[in-house]
Amino acid sequence: MGKTLVTGSLGQLGSELRELVGNDRNWIFTDALPNEETLQLDICDSRRVKELMEEQDVDLIINCAAYTNVDKAESNKELSARLNAEGPKVLARCVRERDAALVHISTDYVFDGKRKRGAYRESDPCRPQSVYGATKRQGELAIRRSRCRGVIIRTAWLYSSYGNNFVKTMVSLGSERSEIGVVADQIGTPTYARDLAKAILTIIPQIGEHRGDIYHYTNEGSCTWFDFAALIMTYCGLDCKVNPLTTEEYPTAARRPAYSVLDKSKIREEFGVETPWWSISLREALRKMGKPVPQHL
């Protein structure tokens, strides 16, 4: 059995995977700007990807690398396309050449969130509203065209004790301010990156002959950013009033879908993964971040 290589492993999802697998020597962690425990790998550098796969006998790549700043992507189209479309294409080609496998992560922002009743299924048409969403969709298509072995997992609203994310921003704003405004007309599902990392570990031994099949994975349930922020304040006992805003009242560079809840039945039925309720996972994540959420909440 060969080794598993994780790209972008210093990000939220990569860090959760690293923590879950511990010191397993069959796992190699890489990132564009490495540290002492991480090898250097730019996912667009085809020569280096091939070299590492050969040297380390890699038979599975988990691609956690991406350009994830949704608003900045609007003015950094080239970089977003390089990381979200070109990078996955390079990885898919390298994986295909060695008959290795690829687990790639995509996003709910491939959907437009308009005229939708019920959660999005994998087969629903994609109409990205942003540069980030469009380049992530290009990445999905490049992998599917390559016919390499592996799966594409779309997720949403990721947070973790690692990296920067909405939960950390709310905890910090809630400690500094008595009132904040948060968008209350975009509905989705907050997802603890640790739960996604566990789901990936469950799926890996079952990849078999899957070739670019798409699956949806988020936590269970749905809420608005406003609900999410309000629960963070409650759990952390922060005396900060959260006021609802409309998307119009809170303009951002990128357009986001008003509704992007994903249907998880396919991934649950085919791979037997668990999808914990979003508010329960949030409580667990906050406790891990050292926030003493009271037992009764």
Ligand X SMILES: NC(=O)c1ccc[n+]([C@@H]2O[C@H](COP(=O)([O-])OP(=O)(O)OC[C@H]3O[C@@H](n4cnc5c(N)ncnc54)[C@H](OP(=O)(O)O)[C@@H]3O)[C@@H](O)[C@H]2O)c1
Cite the active site residues: 132
Residue with the shortest CB distance to ligand X: 11
Token pair, residue 205, equals 């031994």
Please state, in angstroms and rounded to a whole number, the distance separating the CA atoms of residues 4 and 120.
31
140 belongs to the binding site for ligand X (CB under 6 A): no
Q: Which is nearer to ligand X, 11 or 174 (CB)?
A: 11
80 binds ligand X (CB under 6 A): no
Q: Rule CB under 6 A: is residue 27 a binding residue for ligand X?
A: no
DSSP 10: T
Q: For ligand X, give the closer residue by CB, 163 or 221.
A: 163
Closer of 131 and 241 to ligand X (Cβ): 131
Residues 6+ apart with CB under 8 A from 37: 29
Site for ligand X in 220-279 (CB under 6 A): none
In a 13 Å sphere around the CA of 83, the CA atoms on its Cβ side amount to 23
Kindly state the greatest CA–CA separation across the chain. 56
Per DSSP, the residues of 119-138 read PBPTTSPP---SHHHHHHHH
Q: What is the DSSP-derived secondary structure letter of residue 164?
A: -
Cβ-based neighbour number of residue 54 at 10 Å: 11
**In this chain, which of 17, 64, 230, 293 binds ligand X, going by CB under 6 A?**
64
CB of 42 to ligand X, least distance (A): 4
Q: Which of 62, 65, 73, 92 binds ligand X (CB under 6 A)?
A: 65
Residue in 5, 43, 62, 90 binding ligand X, rule: CB under 6 A: 43
Closer residue to ligand X, CB minimum distance, 165 or 279:
165
CA distance from start to end of the chain: 45
The pattern of x and - marking residues 185 through 214 that bind ligand X according to CB under 6 A reads: --------x---------------------
- Residue-level length of the chain: 297
CA dihedral sign of residues 257, 235, 192, 275: negative
- Closest approach, Cβ 249 to ligand X, in A, equals 22
184 binding ligand X? (CB under 6 A): no
Q: Provide the CA 294 distance to its chain's centre, in angstroms.
A: 28
Q: Which residue has the tokens 């948060």?
A: 182
- Is 183 among the residues that bind ligand X (CB under 6 A)? no
Q: Which residues bind ligand X (CB under 6 A)?
A: 7-8, 10-13, 31-33, 41-44, 64-66, 68, 83, 87, 105, 107, 136, 155-158, 163, 193
